[in-house]
């Protein structure tokens, strides 16, 4: 399929949402570059993530799920910055000529784009091994972006939702078993926590999305903020998909397993009531799992005061050879 | 090589140019997203291009040249919009662990970035088949971007530099011959025409960069502007690398061969003296090669009035199976 046809095909799936006149997007698909604007007093958060077949998704993933996830992982980065989705660019490398795959892929992506209000502003298509690179941009009021660098001793550590489900599904797939339905949805069609990220502006002292695993990603906050943390492992919320798993195994998955795209963030201790209200308002589970301290490093404790060793060193994606995030 | 080491390695090659505080880039590498700003009264031109090994470059291309070209093709898109380079994101997919390749690649890219004043704001690294996706952004005063859509009947068609050299080098490589040095440089380390694009603000009625071939890319201007054009083939400037080639063969390469990253643009007829002065000031060959007319389609004429058939249908990249641009 010639490049021009492919671009038109994708644009058609996105429909009028890919057209000029959208908020922030002055000129969309069809020129050497897209033209975007930014209101005075706002900054743009920009991020890029690549998904490669065999590394970030396996042959079990449907084209629609691949489309959804390629955009979701970037929206999750915007959520972690507290940014409102604005526009994105799609760079698609395709091995062959499969219009049905392209339609389903674009459909999965367009569905999430429509739900979250982000606009396809442009892109590039080429032939080669299947890979998807999405560049996403979101708006945030100047100076209000959530970074990894603001956690202070005494702050509380929170996590949204339930972590470890994507890793549970991946483990089942790799063992040739049928994954739990809810766990598989967490792996293939994660929900970026955009409303939460936006609500945490002015509240969270640091924030990150969990792509590499809770322990590893909290580790990034600790490093950037030059602090340490202590987690209470029994506080990690569970879900029905873990019902038949021993606690120790679950905790390891929940601390080490990536690809959940929940948010991990820190707030000052006096913000606990705000978080309770936020949980109520957004309908998202927000769990206090520990606290920040001055001494560097991450310690995970049992309720009895003993150290819990999750036996992980950061989550690796689909393939053992993967390095990306 | 773990992702974190790879990012740090690349950032180190870029040195302080990859750090926060750069113009327009408030927060650089090391968070969930970069933060960028835009002065009031300006728009951002944003574009993305993927280069895949075996499609856009062959095994003969050095790592440094691949780094240079990956950024250059995007800067060329910014040039075609009349935009000043601001910042870029690098998504790098690497098959293995080769620090020397990474250093040379980043060195080639950092060299061009330094020369053109564009700042590495962030990126993503993953493992997989070698591919490079660069997202680049440039600033342009509101309403002054050059698009493909403004050419009017009576306008003159210009091209910068000498086209066809990259295609000449590619042909030699594919035949197992040693390419002309100047032609090979055009293929591997093209020079984005940024100063020209900037200077054409308020002068050019339409502009495009030549990645798919002069005829095909001028065709995009014609389609977007709803006009046609007539080219005078003898006007195409030659270069020493074509000295031993019959004119007809040269013209075909110059009309059909892509990857030159020159600019093709249109101006009102009374702007010819402005273009002469611009050529003088910038030291870039600017050649009037034809004119825009109302009748749709592109006609290429010999000086004797006969139609010249270049026998091409748009340039295809390195591999015959390539569809990308």
Give pLDDT tens digits for A71-103: 999 999 999 999 999 999 999 999 988 889 999
Residue A57 confidence class, pLDDT cut points 50, 70, 90: confident
Burial A21-31 (b: 16+ CB within 10 A, else e): ebebbbbbbbb
Give the span between the Cα atoms of B4 and A223, in whole angstroms: 13
Place of tokens 């470059």: B57
Residue B24 CA to its chain's centroid (Å): 23
Mean pLDDT along residues A309-316: 62
DSSP structure class, residue A242: G
Calculate ∠ Cα B116-B120-B126, nearest 5°.
Answer: 130
Q: Identify which of B41, B24, B214 has the alpha carbon closest to the alpha carbon of residue B144.
A: B41
Q: Identify which of B113, B128, B15, B5 has the alpha carbon closest to the alpha carbon of residue B64.
A: B113
Q: Tell me the per-residue pLDDT of A105-160, one tens digit each, with 9 for 90 and over.
A: 999 999 999 999 999 999 999 999 999 999 999 999 999 999 999 999 999 999 99
pLDDT of residue A323: 31
- Torsion, CA B106, CA B109, CA B112, CA B113, rounded to 10: -80
Give yes or no for a contact between B215 and B298, defined as CB atoms under 8 angstroms apart.
Answer: yes
Is the confidence at residue A303, as pLDDT, over 90? yes
Domains of chain B: 3-141 (3.30.1330.10), 156-301 (3.90.650.10)
Give yes or no for a contact between B186 and B169, defined as CB atoms under 8 angstroms apart.
Answer: yes
pLDDT digit of tens for each residue in chain B (325 aa)?
A: 566 578 778 888 887 544 544 558 888 888 889 998 898 899 999 999 999 998 888 888 899 999 999 999 999 999 999 999 999 999 999 998 888 999 999 999 999 999 999 999 999 999 999 999 999 999 999 999 999 999 999 999 999 999 999 999 999 998 999 999 999 999 999 999 999 999 999 999 999 999 999 999 999 999 999 999 999 999 999 999 999 999 999 999 999 998 999 999 999 999 999 999 999 999 999 999 999 999 999 999 999 999 998 887 543 343 333 333 3
User: Of A113 and A318, which is predicted with more confidence?
Assistant: A113
CA end-to-end span of chain B: 30
Given CA atoms A135, A140, A142, A148 in this order, what sign does their dihedral have?
negative
Q: How many helices (H) and strands (E) does chain A have?
A: 9, 12
The whole model's pTM is what? 0.91
CA end-to-end span of chain A: 30
pLDDT of residue A113: 94
- From the CA of B310, how many Å to the nearest CA of chain A? 20
Q: Are A325 and B124 in contact (CB < 8 Å)? A: yes
Give the span between the Cα atoms of B216 and B212, in whole angstroms: 6
Of A6, A32, A145, the CB nearest to B208: A32
Of A27, A46, A319, the CB nearest to B34: A46
DSSP string, A63-122: HHHHHHHHHHHHHHHHHHHTPEEEEEEEEEEESS--HHHHHHHHHHHHHHHHHHT-EEEE
Give the span between the Cα atoms of B286 and B288, in whole angstroms: 7
Residue A324 CA to its chain's centroid (Å): 13
Residues of chain B neighbouring A30 (CB-CB closer than 8 A): 148, 224
Give the span between the Cα atoms of B190 and B63, in whole angstroms: 15
- Torsion, CA B180, CA B183, CA B189, CA B195, rounded to 10: 140
Task: Kindly identify which residue of chain A lies nearest to residue B209, measuring between CA atoms.
Answer: A32
**Pair of tokens at residue B20:** 């926060």
Helix %, strand %, coil % of chain B (to 5)? 35, 25, 35
- From the CA of A92, how many Å to the nearest CA of chain B? 8
Give yes or no for a contact between B28 and B22, defined as CB atoms under 8 angstroms apart.
Answer: yes
pLDDT of residue B131: 95
Residues of chain A neighbouring B140 (CB-CB closer than 8 A): 35
Mean pLDDT along residues A182-208: 96
Give the span between the Cα atoms of A74 and A119, in whole angstroms: 13
pLDDT of residue A167: 95
Give the span between the Cα atoms of B145 and B81, in whole angstroms: 5
Residues of chain A neighbouring B54 (CB-CB closer than 8 A): 128
Give the span between the Cα atoms of A180 and A174, in whole angstroms: 13
Q: Identify which of A196, A208, A194 has the alpha carbon closest to the alpha carbon of residue A148.
A: A208
Give the span between the Cα atoms of A194 and B220, in whole angstroms: 38
Q: Which of B45, B48, B88, B120 to mutate to test the interface with A (most CBs of A within 10 A)?
A: B48
**Which residues are A132's β-sheet partners?**
A51, A92
Residue B129, by phi and psi: left (phi above 0), alpha (psi -120 to 50) or beta?
Answer: beta
Q: Are B34 and A52 in contact (CB < 8 Å)? A: no
Q: 3-state DSSP call for residue A290?
A: strand
Give the span between the Cα atoms of B164 and B162, in whole angstroms: 7
Q: Tell me the per-residue pLDDT of A206-260, one tens digit each, with 9 for 90 and over.
A: 999 999 999 999 999 999 999 999 999 999 999 999 999 999 999 999 999 989 9
Q: Which of B2, B33, B315 to mutate to test the interface with A (most CBs of A within 10 A)?
A: B33
Of A35, A137, A321, the CB nearest to B43: A35
| Half-sphere exposure at residue A204, Cβ-oriented, CA atoms within 13 angstroms | 32
Inter-residue long-range contacts of A267-270, CB under 8 Å, 24+ positions, other chains counted: A267/A155, A267/A156, A267/A158, A267/A203, A267/A204, A267/A205, A268/A152, A268/A154, A268/A155, A268/A156, A268/A205, A269/A154, A269/A155, A269/A156
Give the span between the Cα atoms of B118 and B18, in whole angstroms: 9
Q: Which of A2, A7, A31, A223 to mutate to test the interface with B (most CBs of B within 10 A)?
A: A31
pLDDT of residue B314: 44
């Amino acid at each position: 399929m010639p490049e021009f046809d492919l671009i038109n095909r994708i644009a058609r799936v996105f429909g009028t949402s890919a057209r000029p006149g959208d908020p922030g997007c002055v000129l969309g698909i069809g020129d050497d570059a897209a033209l975007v604007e930014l209101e005075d007093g706002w900054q743009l958060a920009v991020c890029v993530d690549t998904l490669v077949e065999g590394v970030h998704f396996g042959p079990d993933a449907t084209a629609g799920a691949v489309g959804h996830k390629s955009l979701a992982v970037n929206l999750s980065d915007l959520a972690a910055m507290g940014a409102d989705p604005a526009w994105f660019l799609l760079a698609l490398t395709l091995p062959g000529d499969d219009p049905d795959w392209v339609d389903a892929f674009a459909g999965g992506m367009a569905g999430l784009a429509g739900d979250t209000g982000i606009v396809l502003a442009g892109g590039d298509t080429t032939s080669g091994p299947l890979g998807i690179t999405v560049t996403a941009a979101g708006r945030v009021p100047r100076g209000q972006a959530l970074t990894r660098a603001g956690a202070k001793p005494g702050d509380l550590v929170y996590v949204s939702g339930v972590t470890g489900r994507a890793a549970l599904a991946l483990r089942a797939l790799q063992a040739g078993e049928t994954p739990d339905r809810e766990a598989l949805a967490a792996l293939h069609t994660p929900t970026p926590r955009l409303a939460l990220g936006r609500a945490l502006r002015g509240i969270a002292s640091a924030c990150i999305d969990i792509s590499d695993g809770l322990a590893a990603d909290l580790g990034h906050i600790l490093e950037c903020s030059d602090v340490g943390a202590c987690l209470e492992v029994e506080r990690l919320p569970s879900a029905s998909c873990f019902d038949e798993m021993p606690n120790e195994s679950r905790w390891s998955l929940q601390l080490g397993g990536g690809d959940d795209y929940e948010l991990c963030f820190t707030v000052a201790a006096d913000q606990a009531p705000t978080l309770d209200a936020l949980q109520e308002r957004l309908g998202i589970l927000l769990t206090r799992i520990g606290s920040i301290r001055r001494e560097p490093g991450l310690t995970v404790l049992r309720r009895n005061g003993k150290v819990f060793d999750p036996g992980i060193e950061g989550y690796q994606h689909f393939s053992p050879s993967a390095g990306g995030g």
